[in-house]
Every structure is written in structure tokens, then in C-alpha cells.
């Protein structure tokens, strides 16, 4: 099990299937936990010894269940990331510059309206 306040540390734990306790010191960490539907997180003001022991105990009480849910959410995030990468690749292939892309998109909006 890992404990971290850092976004990428929590993300890499999730990707590797390692149970983690997130301390939500930033919106990024809180948003990651929300995206993952991950309840094993604490606000910094609640991250005292008793809070850490309570949450770690809850997580480690049934890690298979928690990690099973996490694996499903991580798979969904990987699918979203792949779709985002495909969309960005399509944009970059068909444009010469950011200005050209915006100009073309703006023209399409006026043609539709």
C-alpha cells in the first residue's frame, strides 16, 4: 500500500494495481479520486495518525474488492485516454497551424448557423 499527496504517485499506484491512500492536498488529487470513484482519501487536516490508521485499515480490510473496483475504473480511464490520443492525432494530421485549425472550425460554425 502507498500513501501520497502527489497526483502522479497516486495515478501510478492505481495503474500498477497498488492500493493507495490519497491525501487530497490539491484539486488534482481530489479530482483523480473522484474520477476513480476512490473513497480511500483524506483531506490534509484529517491525515493525523488516527485518520491514517482508520483509512488504511478500511482499505486493507478487503483489498481485493477495492482493487477490483479500481481496476474497472482504470480500464475506463485508459479507454478515454486512448480516444483522446486518437482525436488529438487526427487534429494534428489535418492542420498546418493552430490558427488554421481555429479558422477552419470557426468557418464551420458560421456555415452551420
> Which pTM was predicted?
0.68
DSSP string, 38-90: ---EE-GGG-SHHHHHHHHHHHHHSHHHHHHHHHHHHHHHHHHHHHHHHHHHH
Name all contacts of 24-30 with Cβ < 8 Å and 24+ positions apart: 29/5
Beta bridge partners of 42: 23
The string of pLDDT tens digits covering residues 47-67 is: 999 999 998 898 888 888 888
Return the closest-CA partner of residue 42 out of 52, 53, 34. Answer: 52
Q: Where are the domains of the chain?
A: 2-83
Q: Which pLDDT band holds residue 5 (cuts at 50, 70, 90)?
A: very high
Amino acid at each position: 500500500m502507498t500513501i501520497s499527496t502527489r497526483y502522479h504517485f497516486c495515478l501510478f499506484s492505481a495503474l500498477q494495481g497498488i492500493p493507495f491512500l490519497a491525501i487530497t492536498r490539491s484539486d488534482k488529487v481530489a479530482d483523480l479520486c473522484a474520477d476513480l470513484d476512490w473513497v480511500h482519501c483524506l483531506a490534509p487536516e484529517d491525515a493525523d495518525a488516527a485518520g491514517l490508521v482508520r483509512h488504511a485499515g478500511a482499505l486493507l480490510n478487503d483489498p481485493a474488492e477495492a482493487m477490483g473496483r479500481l481496476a474497472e475504473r482504470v480500464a475506463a480511464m485508459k479507454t478515454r485516454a486512448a480516444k483522446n490520443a486518437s482525436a488529438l492525432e487526427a487534429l494534428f494530421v489535418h492542420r498546418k497551424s493552430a490558427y488554421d485549425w481555429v479558422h477552419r472550425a470557426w468557418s464551420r460554425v458560421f456555415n452551420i448557423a
